[in-house]
Amino acid sequence: MNIKLVVVGKLKEKYFKAGIDEYSKRLSRFCKFRIIEVPDEKAPESLSESEMQDVMDKEGTRILDKIADKEYVYALAILGKERASEEFAKEIDKLATYGHSDITFVIGGSLGLAPKVLKRADTQISFGRFTLPHQLMRLVLTEQIYRAFMINEGSPYHK
């Protein structure tokens, strides 16, 4: 199984990188896991609605360039469906069982995801209505993917 994160922007904080590296290493026994960073669009602090749409559109094009047609795509979106860890684990297991061996998760930039990215997604997932820094979300998502594999394995890690 191949699991990929397509994310906007670079990971800056060393402590996030260390956590993600640890979970990536743990995930290596279950899947090929990788993170692809696409550049964020530089923008001033205050943007008009059309400028915001332009920024999201440019970032969206960069994201879509990294996704193949055969990939099953989860878009992280505040309005997406919330799942319990066990439910998420069952989804991952079911996808693998029914021929979706390439799964991609997308984390947008500070303005969110362009409509064209949400349209391409097979499903939207939410980790709640909190706004979290995108770098922290990478760590949380990576841990939850690892947790899903551990649940599916019947490991006590989840408890």
Binding site members for S-adenosyl-L-methionine: 76, 108
Q: Token pair for residue 94?
A: 């079911």
Residue 87 three-state SS: helix
Nearest to 8 by CA among 31, 32, 33, 42: 42
Which residues does the annotation place in the binding site?
Answer: 76, 108
**Helices 134-153 + 14-27 axis angle, to 10:** 20
